[in-house]
Amino acid sequence: MAQKSLLTPSLIFIVGFLTICPVLMLVLGSFMNGFGTFEGFTLSKYVTAYTDPGLQDILVNTLIFTLGSATVATILALFLAYMNTRTNIPFKFLFKVISIIPMMIPHILFCVSWVLLLNPSNGILNTFFVDFFGLDDAPFNIYSLHGMILVEGLLDLPIAYLIIAPAMNSFDVSLEESSKVCGASNLQTLLRITLPVLRPAILASAILVIVRSLASFAVPSVLGIPGRIYVLPTHIYRIISSGFEPDYGQASAIGMSALAASVVLIYLYRYLTKESSRYVTISGRGFKPTLIDLKQYKYPLFTVVGILSFILIILPVIVLLYTSFLPYSMVPSMKAFSMMSFKHWHSVLIDPISLLSLKNSLILGIGGASIGIVLSILVAYVIVKVKTRSAGVLESLSFLSFSFPGIVIGLGFMWVFVQTPLYGTLWALLIGYIATYLPYGIRPLSSAFIQIHDSLEESSRVSGAGAFTTMRRIVIPLLIPGVVSGWILMATMFVRELTLSVVLSRPGSEVLAVQILRFSEDGMWGQLSALGIIMIAISSSLVIGVTLLGNKFSRIHAN
Partner 1 sequence: MEIKIKGLTKLYHSEGKIIKALDDVNLTIGDNTIFTLLGPSGCGKTTLLRSIVGLENPDIGEISIGDEIVWSKEKNIFIPPEKRGLGMVFQTYAIWPHMNVFDNVGYPLQNQGMPKDEIKQRVAETLKLVQLEGFEHRPATKLSGGQQQRVALARALVAKPKVILFDEPLSNLDAKLREETRKELRTFLTGLGITAIYVTHDRIEALALSDIIAVMRAGKIVEMGSPKKIYFNSDHPFVADFIGRSNLIEGVITQCSNRHATLKTAIGDIIGLNTHHLTVGENAIMCIRPEFIKLTHTNNTKEKNIFKGVMQNLVFIGEAYEGDIKINDTLLTTTIEPTEDIHEGSEIFISFSMEHCFLVKS
Tell me which residues touch partner 1 (CB under 8 A): 172, 174-175, 177-185, 188, 192-193, 196-197, 199, 278-287, 290
Task: Name the residue nearer to partner 1 (CB basis): 272 or 397.
Answer: 272
Helix, strand and coil content of the chain, in percent to the nearest 5, comes to 80, 0, 20
Q: What is the smallest separation between the CB atom of 172 and partner 1, expressed in angstroms?
A: 6
Task: Name the residue nearer to partner 1 (CB basis): 286 or 392.
Answer: 286
Helix (H) or strand (E) holding 436, with range, is helix 426-451
Q: What is the smallest separation between the CB atom of 375 and partner 1, expressed in angstroms?
A: 39
Q: What is the smallest separation between the CB atom of 282 and partner 1, expressed in angstroms?
A: 5
Task: Name the residue nearer to partner 1 (CB basis): 188 or 419.
Answer: 188
Q: What is the smallest separation between the CB atom of 283 and partner 1, expressed in angstroms?
A: 6
Check residue 92 and report its DSSP letter: T
Q: What is the smallest separation between the CB atom of 176 and partner 1, expressed in angstroms?
A: 8
Q: What is the smallest separation between the CB atom of 287 and partner 1, expressed in angstroms?
A: 6
Q: What is the smallest separation between the CB atom of 93 and partner 1, expressed in angstroms?
A: 18
Closest CA to 81 of 158, 161, 160, 195: 161
Q: What is the Cα–Cα distance from 134 to 329, expressed in whole angstroms?
A: 19
Task: Name the residue nearer to partner 1 (CB basis): 274 or 506.
Answer: 274
CA angle 242, 246, 248 (to 5 degrees): 130
Cα 408 from chain centroid (whole Å): 16
Q: What is the smallest separation between the CB atom of 286 and partner 1, expressed in angstroms?
A: 7
CA angle 203, 207, 211 (to 5 degrees): 170
Dump the DSSP string for 295-333.
Answer: GGGHHHHHHHHHHHHIIIIIHHHHHHHHHHHSSS---SS
> Does the CA dihedral 309-313-318-324 come out positive or negative?
positive
Other Cβ atoms closer than 10 A to 498: 23
Q: What is the smallest separation between the CB atom of 182 and partner 1, expressed in angstroms?
A: 4
Task: Name the residue nearer to partner 1 (CB basis): 286 or 508.
Answer: 286
Task: Name the residue nearer to partner 1 (CB basis): 37 or 178.
Answer: 178
Q: What is the smallest separation between the CB atom of 98 and partner 1, expressed in angstroms?
A: 27
Q: Which residues on neighbouring strands pair with residue 32, listed in sequence order?
A: 41
What are the phi and psi torsion angles at 32 (to 5°)?
-100, 150
Check residue 221 and report its DSSP letter: I
Q: What is the smallest separation between the CB atom of 472 and partner 1, expressed in angstroms?
A: 37
Task: Name the residue nearer to partner 1 (CB basis): 93 or 244.
Answer: 93
Task: Name the residue nearer to partner 1 (CB basis): 190 or 471.
Answer: 190
What are the phi and psi torsion angles at 105 (to 5°)?
-95, 115
Q: What is the Cα–Cα distance from 351 to 547, expressed in whole angstroms?
A: 32
Task: Name the residue nearer to partner 1 (CB basis): 285 or 389.
Answer: 285
Task: Name the residue nearer to partner 1 (CB basis): 288 or 387.
Answer: 288
CB of 436 closer than 8 Å to CB of 409: yes
Q: What is the smallest separation between the CB atom of 277 and partner 1, expressed in angstroms?
A: 10
Task: Name the residue nearer to partner 1 (CB basis): 283 or 559.
Answer: 283
Q: What is the Cα–Cα distance from 431 to 157, expressed in whole angstroms?
A: 29
CB of 397 closer than 8 Å to CB of 10: no
Q: What is the smallest separation between the CB atom of 298 and partner 1, expressed in angstroms?
A: 16
Q: What is the Cα–Cα distance from 101 to 543, expressed in whole angstroms?
A: 10
Task: Name the residue nearer to partner 1 (CB basis): 174 or 425.
Answer: 174
Cα 125 from chain centroid (whole Å): 28
Number of H helices, E strands in the chain: 28, 0
Query: Exposed, middle or buried by CB within 10 Å (0-12, 13-18, 19+), for 28?
Result: middle
Query: Exposed, middle or buried by CB within 10 Å (0-12, 13-18, 19+), for 369?
Result: buried
Task: Name the residue nearer to partner 1 (CB basis): 52 or 177.
Answer: 177
Q: What 3-state DSSP class applies to 396?
A: helix
Q: What is the Cα–Cα distance from 235 to 229, expressed in whole angstroms?
A: 9
Closest CA to 169 of 90, 80, 274: 80
Query: Exposed, middle or buried by CB within 10 Å (0-12, 13-18, 19+), for 3?
Result: exposed
CB of 22 closer than 8 Å to CB of 435: yes
Task: Name the residue nearer to partner 1 (CB basis): 66 or 179.
Answer: 179
Q: What is the smallest separation between the CB atom of 284 and partner 1, expressed in angstroms?
A: 4
